[in-house]
Amino acid sequence: MKFLLIIFSLLLFQVPSIAQVEDSMQLRRIYHEVLERGECYENLRVLCKEVGNRLSGSDNAEKAVLWGETLMKRYGFDRVYLQEIMVPKWVRGAREKLLYKDSLKTIEPAILALGGSVGTNGILNGEVIEVRNFKDLERLGEKEIQGKIVFYNRPMNPTLISTFHAYGGCVDQRHAGASEAAKYGAVATITRSMTLRNDRIPHTGSMGYKEGVKKIPAVAISTIGAYDLSEALKRNPNLSISLDLSCKSEEDVKSYNVIGEIKGKVYPEKIMVVGGHLDSWDVGEGAHDDGAGVVQSIEVLRLFKKLSIQPKHTIRCILFMNEENGNRGGKSYARLVKQKGEEHILALESDRGGFSPRGFSVDGTSAQLETVQHFEALFRPYNLHLFNKGYGGVDIGPLKNGKICLIGLVPDSQRYFDFHHASSDIWENVNERELELGAAATASMIYLIDKYGFEQGLKRATFKK
**Shortest Cβ distance from residue 4 to a copy of itself (Å)?**
8
Toward a copy of itself, which CB reaches closer, 417 or 452?
A: 417
Active site residue 349: no
Report the distance separating Cα 109 and Cα 89, nearest Å: 27
On whether the CB atoms of residues 128 and 151 are closer than 8 A, the answer is yes
**Shortest Cβ distance from residue 465 to a copy of itself (Å)?**
16
On whether the CB atoms of residues 189 and 219 are closer than 8 A, the answer is yes
Output the DSSP codes for 347-373. EEE--S-SSPEEEEEEES-HHHHHHHH
Confirm or reject binding of residue 358 to a copy of itself (CB under 8 A).
Answer: yes
Report the distance separating Cα 173 and Cα 166, nearest Å: 13
Toward a copy of itself, which CB reaches closer, 30 or 150?
A: 30
Confirm or reject binding of residue 415 to a copy of itself (CB under 8 A).
Answer: yes
Query: Over the range 132-166, which residues count as b (16 or more CB within 10 Å of their CB) and which as e?
Result: ebbebbeebeeeebeebbbbbbbbbeeeeeebeeb
**Shortest Cβ distance from residue 44 to a copy of itself (Å)?**
14
**Shortest Cβ distance from residue 88 to a copy of itself (Å)?**
34
Confirm or reject binding of residue 412 to a copy of itself (CB under 8 A).
Answer: yes
**Residues 102-141, interacting with a copy of itself (CB under 8 A):** none
**Shortest Cβ distance from residue 388 to a copy of itself (Å)?**
11
Of 3-11, 14-22, 92-100, 398-406: span binding a copy of itself (CB under 8 A): 3-11
On whether the CB atoms of residues 367 and 374 are closer than 8 A, the answer is no
Among 60, 356, 442, 444, binds a copy of itself (CB under 8 A): 356
Toward a copy of itself, which CB reaches closer, 139 or 385?
A: 385
**Residues 239-298, interacting with a copy of itself (CB under 8 A):** none
Confirm or reject binding of residue 437 to a copy of itself (CB under 8 A).
Answer: yes
Confirm or reject binding of residue 238 to a copy of itself (CB under 8 A).
Answer: no
Confirm or reject binding of residue 386 to a copy of itself (CB under 8 A).
Answer: yes
Of 127-135, 250-258, 361-369, 379-387: span binding a copy of itself (CB under 8 A): 379-387
Containing 140, the helix (H) or strand (E) segment is helix 134-145
Toward a copy of itself, which CB reaches closer, 36 or 211?
A: 36
Report the distance separating Cα 243 and Cα 347, nearest Å: 43
Alpha carbon 277 to chain centroid, angstroms: 7
| Phi, psi (deg, nearest 5) at residue 11 | -65, -45
**Shortest Cβ distance from residue 319 to a copy of itself (Å)?**
26
Binding mask 34-63 for a copy of itself (x = CB under 8 A): -xx---------------------------
Cross-strand pairs, 361: 388, 408
Confirm or reject binding of residue 210 to a copy of itself (CB under 8 A).
Answer: no
Catalytic member of 261, 323, 324, 434 = 323
Report the distance separating Cα 443 and Cα 332, nearest Å: 25
Cross-strand pairs, 191: 152, 220
**Shortest Cβ distance from residue 291 to a copy of itself (Å)?**
18
Report the distance separating Cα 163 and Cα 158, nearest Å: 8
Containing 344, the helix (H) or strand (E) segment is strand 343-349
Residue 67 CB contacts under 8 Å (≥ 6 apart), including other chains: 46, 47, 50, 51
On whether the CB atoms of residues 183 and 157 are closer than 8 A, the answer is no
Of 11-19, 127-135, 207-215, 433-441: span binding a copy of itself (CB under 8 A): 433-441
**Residues 145-204, interacting with a copy of itself (CB under 8 A):** 158-159, 161, 163, 196-197
Nearest to 267 by CA among 320, 310, 225, 314: 314
Confirm or reject binding of residue 382 to a copy of itself (CB under 8 A).
Answer: yes
On whether the CB atoms of residues 281 and 112 are closer than 8 A, the answer is no
On whether the CB atoms of residues 405 and 365 are closer than 8 A, the answer is yes
Among 8, 21, 22, 32, binds a copy of itself (CB under 8 A): 32
Confirm or reject binding of residue 7 to a copy of itself (CB under 8 A).
Answer: yes
Toward a copy of itself, which CB reaches closer, 3 or 105?
A: 3
Toward a copy of itself, which CB reaches closer, 7 or 123?
A: 7
Of 70-78, 94-102, 429-437, 447-455: span binding a copy of itself (CB under 8 A): 429-437
Cross-strand pairs, 107: 100
Task: Summarize as ranges the residues that interact with a copy of itself (CB under 8 A).
Answer: 3-4, 6-7, 31-32, 35-36, 158-159, 161, 163, 196-197, 356, 358, 381-383, 385-386, 412, 414-415, 418, 431-434, 437
Q: What are the catalytic residues?
A: 323
